[in-house]
Amino acid sequence: MGSELRFLGEATTKCMNCGELSFKVSMYVYRAPIVGDVLLECGRCDSCGFGRSNVSVLNYGNPKTIRVRIESVNDLRAIVVKSATASLSIPELGIEVTPGPAAYGYITTVEGILERVLDVIPSDCMNDEECYKKVDKIKDAMDGREKFTLIIRDPSGGSTVIGEGLNIVVEEDATY
């Protein structure tokens, strides 16, 4: 499957940073390998320069919770479409990421999510035994030596995880 980018249109909305009616969003449909059609939204404010982008799968609708059991190096390569509204957690590794108002969406792999978590761990972590142990565990997980469950809660329903032979459970969630 090839990849292509199709321009859908542009909209101007109120900027969530400065409140001016000058936030321009360009929308595209991107046909991604493996994932299929995704909606890309790239926005920037003409007044204050605030930028935000999002990615979500097309044809979604309901809030959902995705639970993926990661037990092998192959599972680590599963593709994750994480929309801007999704929160991530990995209970076994003590990871909990909730989206702020300026959160953005992205496409990565399960391993890529662990990399992002490592990226934001403060540099003085090495002086803290608990933090150090956590980093060690995450690195083990990235090498496939630690099994864990990735949980994605998405009130917009625009997130998904795609991979071969994945142990995945998707619940449509009525609690939002």
72 binds Zn ion (CB under 5 A): no
Q: Which residue, chain included where needed, has tokens 């790239």?
A: 42
Torsion angle of C-alpha atoms 39, 156, 19, 51, degrees rounded to 10? -40
Query: How far is residue 109's CA from residue 76's CA, in Å, rounded to a whole number?
Result: 7
- Among 48, 118, 166, 168, which residue interacts with Zn ion (rule: CB under 5 A)? 48
> Nearer to Zn ion by C-beta: 15 or 90?
15
Q: Applying CB under 5 A, which part among 15-23, 34-42, 88-96, 113-121 lies near Zn ion?
A: 15-23
Structure tokens at 151: 């949980």
Q: Is 16 in the site for Zn ion (CB under 5 A)?
A: no
Nearer to Zn ion, 18 or 169 (CB): 18
First vs last C-alpha separation in the chain: 35
50 is an interface residue for Zn ion by CB under 5 A: yes
Helix (H, G, I), strand (E, B) or coil at 65: strand
Q: Is 45 in the site for Zn ion (CB under 5 A)?
A: yes
The closest of 75, 79, 76, 73 to 33, measured between CA atoms, is 79
**CB of 58 or CB of 102, closer to Zn ion:** 102
Which of 43-51, 89-97, 103-111, 163-171 is the region at the interface with Zn ion (rule: CB under 5 A)?
43-51
Shortest Cβ distance from residue 40 to Zn ion (Å)? 20
Identify the helix (H) or strand (E) that includes residue 111.
Answer: helix 110-119
Judged by CB under 5 A, the number of residues near Zn ion is 7
Residues that bind Zn ion (CB under 5 A): 15, 17-18, 45, 47-48, 50
